Amino acid sequence: MKKATIRFLKQKNNWILNLKLKMMKANYKTGILTIILVFNTIAALPQDFPEWPVPNNEAAVENPVEATKESVAAGKALFNTQCKACHGETGKGDGLIKSASLVSEIFTAQTDGAIYWKLVTGRGQMPPFAAQPEEQLWNVINYIRLLSMNPEDMVMKNAIISIIFDEDSEKKEVTAKVEEFTEDGTKAPVSNVKVNFGVKRYFGVLPISSTSTFTDAAGEVSVSFPDDIIGNETGELVVIAALEDMEYNPVEASAEISWGLDNPNDYWTERRALWKDNDYVPIWLLFSFIGGALAVWGTIGYVALLVFKIKRIGDKVS
């Protein structure tokens, strides 16, 4: 732990950070930490957050959206952008900010309506999401329900996914095919599973599909490829198709295709500029600077010559 950071935390005089500091110091004494953990689990409240009562009429509202794969997929997409940061990827409340667990017994004991009311009302660090469309909020609730079902107990199946490019049709299409191996070793199509299509970028994957890309009976699903995505200098880019389903282990395929726009790669120019280095000095400046220096120092040199001549005459005369 840096001296500067410790001093900084002390300076801040913030009770949260002081607590963190104490916790970090306590790391060296893992025995104490274990005891603290044990006490926590034994202690009365499994959640550190004060109770949040919901009005009865709100809690009684029923979830109008069926928990289909589409709904859960849409809910997951929204969860990942709005909720994952604080509540963590698995909803345990272990994200970048300590938050309530969405998978604890106390939380899941609530009705969907109660959760919906909390979503639109917000409290403290939890913002109100009233601006989101209602259907989306119910989708998120469906996804949260899914999270609390222990995925570790499920046995995941394996599938394979492949990418097919359709270059013949007018519109460019990308098709993904999902198959799994049956007991007798043959491949069978997997239907009604979600495939996410994207283009590989430097830091992540740019999605090019919506939330409703589920495989059909033949295990295939297609999206039309947008015509405004930039590739490399020759327009090549990498398309990724990723299987995302509760029952299957995640698997993805990637393939290169030159359906992108050519990357102009024209950011760096060889133009001369005042902010660049000596190799790019503007010509007018180069000539003024060197010309001026040569003119002045040349004159000084000439004067030095005159002085030498004076000395020569002086030596001759004396």
Partner 1 sequence: MSGSTEKKKTAQSGGFEKISEDLIRPLYHNTFGNQVYIRVLIFFVIVGVIAYGHQLLDGLGLTAMRDYSSWGIYIASFVFWVAVSLIGSLISAILKLLSQNWSTPLSRISELIALGAIAMAAASIVIDMGRPDRVLNIALHGRIQSPIVWDFLVVNTYLVISAILLYLPLIPDIAIMRDKMTGIPKWQKKTYEMLALGWQGTQEQWKLLKRAIWIMIILILPVAFSIHTVTSWLFATNSRTGWHSTIFGPYFVSGAFVAGAAAVVIAMYVFRKRHKLQDYITDKQFDMMGKLMVLTMLIYLYFNINEYLVPGYRWGRLDGAHIHELFLGHEAPLFWTTQILGLILPIFLLMFKGMRKPGPSLVIACFVLLGAWVKRVLIVIPTQFHPQFPIQNVPESFLHYIPTWTEILITLGTVAGALLIITLLVRIFPVIPIWEVAHEKGYHKIFKAEK
Partner 2 sequence: MKKNKENKSETRRSFLKSSALLGAGAIAGSAVLSSCSTDAEPGGEKVKLLTASGELVEVDPSQIKKVRKEKMSELSERGREGLVGHHWTMVIDLSKCKNARKCMTACQGAHDLLPYQHHINVLQMQDSKSTAPYYMPKPCFHCDNPPCTKVCPVNATFKRKDGIVLIDNERCIGCRFCVAACPYSARMFQWFEPEYTEEEKNRLYDVELNVPQKKGTITKCLFSADRLRKGQLPYCVSACPNGVYWFGDKMEDSVTNGTSKETRKFSDLIKENAGYTYFEDLGTKPQVYYLPPKNRTFEYEPVDKIMKDDHAGEESSHTNAKH
Given the rule CB under 8 A, which residues bind partner 2? 2-5, 7-8, 11, 20, 24, 80-82, 84-86, 95-97, 122, 127-129, 131, 198, 201-207, 229-230, 263-265, 267-268, 273-278
In the complex with partner 2, which residue's Cβ is closer, 114 or 240?
240
In the complex with partner 2, which residue's Cβ is closer, 44 or 131?
131
In the complex with partner 2, which residue's Cβ is closer, 286 or 300?
286
Identified binder of partner 1 from the candidate list 10, 80, 289, 294, rule CB under 8 A: 289
> 294-298: long-range contacts at Cβ-Cβ below 8 A with a sequence spacing of 24 or more?
none
Q: For the chain, first and last CA: distance in Å?
A: 80
Compute the distance between CA of residue 63 and CA of residue 48 in angstroms, rounded to an integer. Answer: 28
| Binding status of residue 8 toward partner 1 by CB under 8 A | no
Compute the distance between CA of residue 298 and CA of residue 201 in angstroms, rounded to an integer. Answer: 58
Site size with partner 1, rule: CB under 8 A: 27
Q: How far is the CB of 263 from partner 2 (least distance, A)?
A: 6
| Binding status of residue 297 toward partner 1 by CB under 8 A | yes
Compute the distance between CA of residue 206 and CA of residue 87 in angstroms, rounded to an integer. Answer: 24
Q: How far is the CB of 311 from partner 1 (least distance, A)?
A: 4
Dihedral of the CA atoms 12, 15, 21, 26 (nearest 10)?
160
| Binding status of residue 307 toward partner 1 by CB under 8 A | yes
Compute the distance between CA of residue 216 and CA of residue 193 in angstroms, rounded to an integer. Answer: 8
Q: In what order do the strands lie in the sheet with 237-244?
A: 205-207, 194-200, 237-244, 251-257
Compute the distance between CA of residue 203 and CA of residue 155 in angstroms, rounded to an integer. Answer: 32
Contact call for residues 102 and 87 (beta carbons, < 8 A): yes
Q: How far is the CB of 308 from partner 2 (least distance, A)?
A: 34
In the complex with partner 1, which residue's Cβ is closer, 67 or 281?
281
| Binding status of residue 300 toward partner 1 by CB under 8 A | yes
> 152-158: long-range contacts at Cβ-Cβ below 8 A with a sequence spacing of 24 or more?
154/246, 154/247, 156/247, 156/248, 156/249, 157/247, 157/248, 157/249, 158/248, 158/249, 158/251
In the complex with partner 2, which residue's Cβ is closer, 39 or 267?
267
Q: How far is the CB of 279 from partner 2 (least distance, A)?
A: 10
| Binding status of residue 62 toward partner 1 by CB under 8 A | no
Identified binder of partner 1 from the candidate list 158, 278, 283, 284, rule CB under 8 A: 278
| Binding status of residue 314 toward partner 1 by CB under 8 A | yes
Annotate each residue in 238-277 with x if it binds partner 1 (CB under 8 A) or - if it does not, as one string. Answer: ------------------------------------xxxx
Q: What is the gyration radius of the CA atoms in the chain, in angstroms?
A: 34
